[in-house]
Structure 1
Amino acid sequence: MSEASARILYIDDDEGLRRLAERALSRRGYHVETAANGIEGVAKAEAGAFDLVAVDHYMPGQDGLTTLAQLGALPNPPSIVYVTGSDESSVAVAALKAGAVDYVVKGAGGEFFDLLARTFEQALGQRRLILAKDTAEAALRESNARLEALLREVNHRVANSLQIASAFVSMQAKALTDPAARAALEDTQRRIGAIALTHRSLYTSESVDTIEMDEYLAGLVRELERTWSTPQAPRKLALSAEKVALKTDRAVSVGIIVNELVSNACKYAYPAGTSGEVRIALARDNGDFLLTVEDDGCGLDPAAAAQGTGLGTKLIAAMAGSLRATLGYDPVPRGVRASLRAAAA
């Protein structure tokens, strides 16, 4: 918007001053319309798009401040310059507080119109900057919305692909007769499921880069309980999780650690054919989070040979390293209590 193409509305009850203002501003390249009072001026501003409106303070029937308030309430309000008398500084201050971009001291000489034109130029320049800022922000919001939609779609496709991979592994496991090989593939399937669940959480949530861990762990624990709890060996998994939001890669690491610790507890903590409980807790602690997995089983025997392939232990150590944390085992009267502390950010 250039000054030459700007549309100006000049509202003043003084007919002579209106005519002078129209001629003076038109010579400076503005497209000028006038109104004899505030009511007429608001009606014209509502009917046509003006880039700037000049409003006189003293007018019969409706003063300038009332007119200013009505102009400011329009759906797309114009910039407003307030016109006051030389001894009306308090009125000018009130107008600025009410939304006017500037004010000009009223007069009938050439200096007044020069000052009015310069004030218009500054007000229009400010309006251009505001419009450019609004346009840039709108474009940025639109771009962010597109990127978020794309990221959700990516997470959706990744989750679906991981589910397909999990189904393939499950089919392969069922086709095997070697119990050790079948168990290894079933462990792999659960690990894939833990990662797939993070991507599913991302595309179904408001956030596209963080995961609410209480909701994520609730879904993971349900899946693990369905896997490990059988009529012959019931396993109750109890979760207590506070609201903790983690970035995707950190959430994946926590999910894999929980998967491994819970799976180990379900497999090794309790004798075959007996029931048992595994408790998972996630709590805030200042800027950190504290993860614990606990059972009431047979405990760890340091002298006993390691059970399983040892891959789970390596995965836990690797995931803890990615979180810049160390998994430790707390002394408890019965069973095993594993704990991990890491920064939430």
Structure 2
Amino acid sequence: MLSIFLFVGLGLSYAQDSDSIEINLLDDFQNAQSAPQKMKLFYDMPNRYIQNSAYDWLEVVNVYLNSSEKTRDTLAVNTYRIMQSQLYKDIGDYDKSVAIAKDIYTNKDSLDKNTKALVLTLLDENYGKLQMYDKQIEIREAKKSLGLTEGVAFYDIYANMGLYRQAMKQYILAVKPTIPDNDYLALARHHNVVGDYLRLDKSAPTAITEYNKATGFLKVFINDNSNEKTEKEIFESESLKAEIEGNIGKSYVLLKNYIESIPHLNESIDVLSEYNNEEYADQIIDNKLYLAEAHLQLDNNRTAKRLLESSFGEMTAQQELKRNRLLAYYYDKIENFKSASLFYKRNERITDSLKANELSILKQQLVAIVGTSDLENSRKLINQQKLANDKFRSEIQAKDERINLVFISLVFTLLGFAGLVYAYLKSIKNQRLIAEQKHFIENSLKEKESLLKEIHHRVKNNLQMVSSLLSLQTRNTKSKAAIEALEEGKSRVKAMALIHQKLYQNDDLSVIEMQGYIESLINSVQSVYKKGGHNISITVDAEGTELDIDRAIPFGLILNELVSNSFKYAFPESDENGKIYIHLRQNGEGGYFEYADNGVGLPDDSDERTNSSMGLRLINRLVNQLQSKLNVDKTKEGVRFWFNYK
């Protein structure tokens, strides 16, 4: 039933009852009356190759193209050539696809905006496949200049180059501001992508946090009955849920938590396999390989072998390498070294094939840059230049009177060469001096960084010692008020110690990434209040915000006070439905901070208590230190603190 639903939702087939007839998409394309109608059908089909291959489509499109060229129908010619370029790209002939698209774009003044967008998108995708990232950036800049800003970003280029952390930052800056706060499906998709970048960057624990956020937003979307959902949205949410489960499973494998990974990977494979959609083929294969790896590590060898020998369909070279590597590992474990060596040899052949493919891509890059006709013209020019040079040499040899001139020219050339040699030797000497100075400066910087890290480490250890002394004092104190005061002091010391811990763990000693710091701080406060705060839903929105130590310490102390107050006073009866929201956003040199909970709120005499409460007086002074003023909203349910800072 699920397959029928998906086919109806995506328009891949039209099945109404047992007597219905499946429509062939290529026949439907040929029955369209005009070239624009054919173009619309071509690009509206989610999976045009489900019944006919790209080669079948190319044969049909070429027939229409030839017919249009004979009738000199310029609009139809451009339309079919765009489809021709798309088909060459889908086949893998990227250089041909680029040549056609570039030729169409040479007459860009005669193209409408939608056609320009299609052609530029084709060039963008082809350059990406050819790994010509500089050309890809040029195309996207051209899109921006035409006002085609939708989907124009650069994070995918960073990801293709293996710069996943930079890709993540660019993705957050480009996509997060465009997502409305109530678009929970888009927010789930966003956090899933952020998790993918973190997982690929070998930051599996943080990736799992992002995947859990994505799952949370997806649950809100699914359970929201106030907005009627389309079939497409239901399909997207179900498939996204399966994707996230698979990603969580892969992250657990990277963390070597193999038992935890297995149910997530199994669920993802089962759901995505039901969809019978080529879009998820790569994910299913990856999930199977990670699942097999988990079973091998848990010594479930038979299960792993069954998975690795199952039908995988069309695999990428990297997937094939991993499958062979896992099979070789399996045979090594059971001491069947002959079979293991066969799979090692297969990987050697695949590696050789990859090198050959790299050469093929280089050739396609050359053709894409120069073009076939340009290469022929270049050869002709070279031959012509060669004939001209031969003629010139003959004339020189025939004219003896030019010998003296040649000799003088030679002398000057030698003098010039001697000058160049002298300048070159001097340049080498200068470069050596610069290299030595650079080496000295780098060593000095490394030494200073090491000393600074050591200072932060020692400060953190000293603060931990102070915290331990306060704990000892607490055990020897009988006064309840004194114990509470000591616990509050210990919590504040821990908040400052955490700042220094984050600093010496960072590669960049100048700033602190606040999202991770706030999450660690909340865990620290929760450990103090063991009997409360664990059922409260806490949302932290500080992704991408980085602060220096002068601002991070006041923020840490402010948050410590606010979270402690919420745990102690906001939910006196039950914290089952308790919620805390923390928002921190950087904006140029300043920023905005907001803290809210849905507890019982502040008492009526809170203004009078401000002067007597140590916590509130401390918060006000810390806010003043950030050159701002604390605002308190007591009109709504709970309480809200906010301020702008510089």
Q: TM-score, normalised by structure 1?
A: 0.62
Is 2:430 the counterpart of 1:129? yes
Q: Secondary structure at the match of 2:620?
A: helix
Residue of structure 2 in register with 1:306 after alignment = 609
Is 2:478 the counterpart of 1:170? no
Letter in 1 for 2:598: D
Structure 2 residue runs of 5 or longer lacking an equivalent are 1-388, 390-405
Structure 1 residue runs of 5 or longer lacking an equivalent are 1-87, 89-104
Q: Quick check: 1:232–1:273 contact (8 Å CA) kept in 2? A: no
Q: Quick check: 2:610–2:617 contact (8 Å CA) kept in 1? A: no
In structure 2, what is the Cα distance between the partners aligned to 1:115 and 1:241?
Answer: 63
Q: Quick check: 1:278–1:295 contact (8 Å CA) kept in 2? A: yes
Is 2:559 the counterpart of 1:261? no
Structure 1 pair 303–179 and aligned structure 2 pair: CA distance change class (3 A): same
Q: Which range moves more in the overlay, 157-166 or 188-197?
A: 157-166
Rg larger in structure: 1
Q: Quick check: 1:166–1:192 contact (8 Å CA) kept in 2? A: yes
Q: Quick check: 2:610–2:616 contact (8 Å CA) kept in 1? A: no
In structure 2, what is the Cα distance between the partners aligned to 1:221 and 1:136?
Answer: 46
In structure 1, what is the Cα distance between the partners aligned to 2:532 and 2:619?
Answer: 29
In structure 1, what is the Cα distance between the partners aligned to 2:588 and 2:598?
Answer: 29
Is 2:327 the counterpart of 1:327? no
Q: Quick check: 1:194–1:259 contact (8 Å CA) kept in 2? A: yes
Which of 213, 230, 238 is the matching residue for 2:514?
Answer: 213
Mapping of 1:85-164 within 5 angstroms?
111-164=412-465
Q: Which range moves more in the overlay, 277-286 or 156-165?
A: 277-286
Structure 1 pair 173–115 and aligned structure 2 pair: CA distance change class (3 A): same
Deviation at 1:227, TM superposition (A): 2.1
In structure 1, what is the Cα distance between the partners aligned to 2:598 and 2:515?
Answer: 23
Letter in 2 for 1:177: K
Letter in 1 for 2:463: L
Deviation at 1:111, TM superposition (A): 4.5
In structure 2, what is the Cα distance between the partners aligned to 1:129 and 1:279?
Answer: 58
Deviation at 1:129, TM superposition (A): 2.2
Residue of structure 1 in register with 2:597 after alignment = 295
Deviation at 1:312, TM superposition (A): 1.5
Structure 1 pair 286–147 and aligned structure 2 pair: CA distance change class (3 A): closer
Which of 548, 560, 570 is the matching residue for 1:247?
Answer: 548
In structure 2, what is the Cα distance between the partners aligned to 1:118 and 1:239?
Answer: 66
Structure 1 pair 335–106 and aligned structure 2 pair: CA distance change class (3 A): farther
In structure 2, what is the Cα distance between the partners aligned to 1:308 and 1:264?
Answer: 16
Q: Secondary structure at the match of 1:306?
A: helix
Deviation at 1:112, TM superposition (A): 4.4
Q: Secondary structure at the match of 2:609?
A: coil
In structure 1, what is the Cα distance between the partners aligned to 2:555 and 2:642?
Answer: 12
Is 2:480 the counterpart of 1:179? yes
Q: Quick check: 1:242–1:284 contact (8 Å CA) kept in 2? A: no
In structure 2, what is the Cα distance between the partners aligned to 1:302 and 1:160?
Answer: 42
Q: Secondary structure at the match of 1:222?
A: helix
Question: Aligned residue pairs: how many?
Answer: 240
Which of 313, 317, 342 is the matching residue for 2:620?
Answer: 317
Structure 1 pair 119–223 and aligned structure 2 pair: CA distance change class (3 A): same
In structure 1, what is the Cα distance between the partners aligned to 2:585 and 2:530?
Answer: 25
Residues 72-110 of structure 1, C-alpha deviation per residue, up to 9 Å, x if partnerless?
A: xxxxxxxxxxxxxxxx9xxxxxxxxxxxxxxxx996865
Is 2:540 the counterpart of 1:228? no
In structure 1, what is the Cα distance between the partners aligned to 2:425 and 2:561?
Answer: 65
Deviation at 1:199, TM superposition (A): 0.7
Deviation at 1:316, TM superposition (A): 1.4
Q: Which range moves more in the overlay, 305-314 or 329-338?
A: 305-314
Deviation at 1:323, TM superposition (A): 1.7
Residue of structure 2 in register with 1:58 after alignment = none
Mapping of 1:45-84 within 5 angstroms?
none
Deviation at 1:182, TM superposition (A): 0.9
Residues 215-263 of structure 1, C-alpha deviation per residue, up to 9 Å, x if partnerless?
A: 1111001111222351699544432322111111211111001001111
Letter in 2 for 1:282: L
Is 2:581 the counterpart of 1:279? yes
Letter in 2 for 1:258: L
Residues 2-53 of structure 1, C-alpha deviation per residue, up to 9 Å, x if partnerless?
A: xxxxxxxxxxxxxxxxxxxxxxxxxxxxxxxxxxxxxxxxxxxxxxxxxxxx
Matched residues, percent identical?
Answer: 28
Answer 1 or 2: higher relative contact order, Cα 8 Å, separation at least 6.
Answer: 1
Structure 1 pair 255–141 and aligned structure 2 pair: CA distance change class (3 A): same
In structure 1, what is the Cα distance between the partners aligned to 2:611 and 2:488?
Answer: 11
Q: Secondary structure at the match of 2:631?
A: strand
In structure 1, what is the Cα distance between the partners aligned to 2:610 and 2:516?
Answer: 31
Q: Which range moves more in the overlay, 230-239 or 268-277?
A: 230-239
Q: Quick check: 1:233–1:273 contact (8 Å CA) kept in 2? A: no
In structure 2, what is the Cα distance between the partners aligned to 1:188 and 1:326?
Answer: 24
User: How well do the aligned residues superpose, as a CA RMSD in angstroms?
Assistant: 2.8
Structure 1 pair 231–320 and aligned structure 2 pair: CA distance change class (3 A): closer
Deviation at 1:163, TM superposition (A): 0.8
Residue of structure 2 in register with 1:30 after alignment = none
Residue of structure 2 in register with 1:66 after alignment = none
Q: Quick check: 1:228–1:235 contact (8 Å CA) kept in 2? A: no
